[in-house]
Structure 1
Amino acid sequence: MTPRITFSLLLTRNFRTVIAGLCLLFLLSALLAAKPKAADLVKDGQAIDLQQKKYRQLFKELKQKYQFTDQELQQIFAGQVISKRVLELMDRQWEAKPYYKYAPLFLTPFNIATGKIQLSRYRELLDRVEQEFGVDREIIVAIWGIETHYGTRQGNFNVLQTLNTLFDAYPRRSKFFRNQLVHFLLLCKEDSIDPRTVRGSYAGAFGQTQFIPSSFRAYAVSFDGNEQRDVWNSTPDVLASIANYLKQFHWTLHAPVYAELGHELKDRRLIAAQAKGRKGRIAWQIVRDVQNPDLPPSPEGRPLAIVGLELDPNKSAERFRYIAAYPNFQAITEWNHSNRYAMAVTELAEAFKK
């Protein structure tokens, strides 16, 4: 006899299916959450295996392509060990702060007052930097202040160990840090620097500019009369290197950085551009016509980005402050891929003038 299928039986089966699905989903979520982080898989001070395939390939490239000798490589890599702390910091999930919490970290009385002092102290040097590179001095000094508190906080991690740690034990970005390790060894060779002595951040950035190695090789310059690019101790090299970076991304001296657009975007094209993030672009004529008739022209008619900056809900009934981000603003986002960072630099630079 065929079993009779009733509504109550179907309901029971469906319920069981739903419960089974929820249990499976919970199990998968638990497994994902339990996935070990890079720092969980190593011991601090663990020796790096220089005989593994990826290091043999690295050494082969350094010898054949860049003329490193076996003796040089032995001196550089002997005794390299893992820094667990570097991996812990890389694994940490940094929560993006809304702008009303982010900006006060940098727009401090100390940063503003010290920046004004530095602008006065290095006035003649900044005259030469502006003339040579065409980048506004306040922006240069603001980046200097935000990156390393005007050179006083350059990081205390051994850069060679950091880059080896991230190449060897941070799989998610191992390829990137292998490339940075090669650039680091090349810049040390080019500028006669002992790679074992350089200190910087847990991500391999160093100096008063906090350049990563590839950025140093591409943008650092000597501006103090010798040939060595010294972003650790030479203020002329530091300020000129910051300026040169922005120059390469088409900074225009004394041109607008941003313009206020109010608390509401009035056209779907502006909304679409803002939704695309820092790479979104829109013709400045459109922004002028639909949002702000007093909008200054963009250099060479280049397009703008649209940026929304979060407002403190305890102080404003509005959620966002919208700005038109000019090509100069966009150049700052090439230094650091954050609109919040670019705005903090800009507002710190503005504060120097008050």
Structure 2
Amino acid sequence: MRLLLCLLLLLPALASADPASYAEREDVRAFVAEMHERNGFDNDELLHLFAQAQSLPVVIKEIQPPAEPGIRSWQLYRSRFVEPRRIRAGAKFWQANKASLARAEAQYGVPREIIVGILGVETIYGKHNGHFQTFSALATLAFDYPPRAALFRGELEALLLLAREEKRAVLDYRGSYAGAIGMPQFLPSSIRQWAVDFDGDGSIDLSSPADAIGSVARFLAEHGWEKGGLILTPAKADGSRIGELLAEGIKPQRTPEQLAAFGVTANDAPPCPAALIDYVTPEVPTSYRLGYNNFYVITRYNRSTFYATAVYELAETVKAHLTPRP
């Protein structure tokens, strides 16, 4: 009797811990109706998929900004990516994929070291592609994370379209907690728009080094990469107007003469537009560089200037590692 009473008391808690299937929710059913109307998906097939999707609280935990943001530190950030393990892995990846890297550079104009830098920062050349079921991760973010629900409903739609185009089971895709897939961590919409079958096997597989290499190169080229263009150059910044310049953002728009009026100078700066980029580290004087068009293009991959600079520095370090010394 006592055991039965305990079980009865536990029932409400157990029920609340087992949320309704996504297929039973009105917002999901409305999404399914939209997918039928807009893309011709079968309602019952989609509801069957959503009945199999799992709500993943860890996904929401991972994507939420920290309650107390950490102190911005370029030196700390850099140490996570420009470090011996990634440098060695980058050199090994470069050697193993020389032909694909050379072909991507010739076809898209993007230096092979930049491609290597991005793949190293993103996943250490496929070592950390992610293990989450992409459909469940995106469903969780699309329907249980209101701040970015619109974005992730769009990615969920893109995943469904991608699976149909690739004749692949939707539930087979695996990736990051945010729904990014493969070695270059493309979201489904980016795969549909930018990814390429660079190894010519008839399908796009972003766990394939060749497809990853070609897809990264195409992404950067389509976002305005200038062959042979500058990326970053060191700069000196003094004066009371530096804050104004930084507030303008990272899109290159100031000539050397205009930058000088703000107290910013750089040795042998070309006449092309640049933006001032700052590198803050606690208890260390802030350093500055000028970012040119190709630096801005890298930030289209990830909006962080720290990210783009880590890609650039890892790229240059791996390249130097492979360059014979005199």
Tell me if both proteins adopt one fold, taking TM over 0.5 as the criterion: yes
Q: For 1:284 and 1:296, how far apart are their aligned partners in 2?
A: 7
1:305 matched to 2:275: yes
151-160 vs 91-100, greater mean Cα deviation? 91-100
Q: For 1:151 and 1:43, how far apart are their aligned partners in 2?
A: 38
SS at match of 1:50: helix
Q: For 2:16 and 2:147, how far apart are their aligned partners in 1?
A: 19
Q: 2:247 aligns with which of 226, 250, 275?
A: 275
SS at match of 2:52: coil
The one-letter code of the counterpart of 2:258 is: I
Residue equivalent to 1:336: 302
Are the structure 2 counterparts of residues 90 and 43 from structure 1 closer, same or farther at C-alpha, using a change threshold of 3 Å?
farther
Residue equivalent to 1:34: none
Residue equivalent to 2:287: 321
Residue equivalent to 2:229: 255
1:200 matched to 2:175: yes
* TM-score normalised to structure 2 length: 0.85
Instruction: Kindly name which structure, 1 or 2, has the bigger radius of gyration based on alpha carbons.
Output: 1
Residue equivalent to 1:351: 317
1:220 matched to 2:195: yes
C-alpha displacement of 1:144:
0.3
Tell me if structure 1 keeps the 8 A contact 2:72–2:280. Answer: no
SS at match of 1:278: coil
Q: For 2:16 and 2:140, how far apart are their aligned partners in 1?
A: 11
C-alpha displacement of 1:118:
1.7
Tell me if structure 1 keeps the 8 A contact 2:125–2:183. Answer: yes
Aligned length: 303
Q: For 1:293 and 1:338, how far apart are their aligned partners in 2?
A: 23
Cα displacement string for residues 150-193 of structure 1 (whole angstroms, at most 9, x for unaligned residues): 01111111111111111121111111111111011111111122
Q: For 1:44 and 1:101, how far apart are their aligned partners in 2?
A: 39
SS at match of 1:65: helix
Residue equivalent to 1:65: 38
SS at match of 1:68: coil
Cα displacement string for residues 124-159 of structure 1 (whole angstroms, at most 9, x for unaligned residues): 211110011110110100110110110111111111
C-alpha displacement of 1:265:
3.3
Matches of residues 1-354 of structure 1 in structure 2 within 5 Å? Answer: 46-93=19-66, 95=70, 97-232=72-207, 234-262=208-236, 264-266=237-239, 268=241, 271-279=243-251, 281-287=253-259, 291-292=264-265, 294-297=267-270, 301=272, 303-311=273-281, 313=283, 316=284, 319-354=285-320
SS at match of 1:59: helix
Cα displacement string for residues 255-282 of structure 1 (whole angstroms, at most 9, x for unaligned residues): 21111113x33573x5422123334732
Which residues of structure 1 form unaligned runs of 5+?
1-41
Q: For 1:205 and 1:101, how far apart are their aligned partners in 2?
A: 25
Q: For 1:175 and 1:273, how far apart are their aligned partners in 2?
A: 33
SS at match of 2:149: helix
Which residues of structure 2 form unaligned runs of 5+?
1-14, 321-326
Q: For 1:165 and 1:293, how far apart are their aligned partners in 2?
A: 48
SS at match of 1:78: helix
C-alpha displacement of 1:293:
5.8
Tell me if structure 2 keeps the 8 A contact 1:308–1:321. Answer: yes
C-alpha displacement of 1:304:
1.4
Q: For 2:212 and 2:16, how far apart are their aligned partners in 1?
A: 37
* TM-score normalised to structure 1 length: 0.79
C-alpha displacement of 1:353:
2.6
Q: For 1:341 and 1:180, how far apart are their aligned partners in 2?
A: 23
Tell me if structure 2 keeps the 8 A contact 1:273–1:280. Answer: no
C-alpha displacement of 1:91:
2.8
- Percent of aligned pairs sharing the same letter: 31
C-alpha displacement of 1:87:
1.6
Tell me if structure 2 keeps the 8 A contact 1:44–1:82. Answer: no
SS at match of 2:172: coil
C-alpha displacement of 1:206:
1.4
179-188 vs 59-68, greater mean Cα deviation? 59-68
Task: Using CA pairs under 8 Å that are at least 6 residues apart, name the structure with larger relative contact order, 1 or 2.
Answer: 2
Are the structure 2 counterparts of residues 59 and 111 from structure 1 closer, same or farther at C-alpha, using a change threshold of 3 Å?
same
C-alpha displacement of 1:78:
2.2
Q: For 1:332 and 1:150, how far apart are their aligned partners in 2?
A: 18
Tell me if structure 2 keeps the 8 A contact 1:246–1:331. Answer: yes
Q: For 1:312 and 1:120, how far apart are their aligned partners in 2?
A: 38
The one-letter code of the counterpart of 2:218 is: N
Q: For 2:24 and 2:75, how far apart are their aligned partners in 1?
A: 50
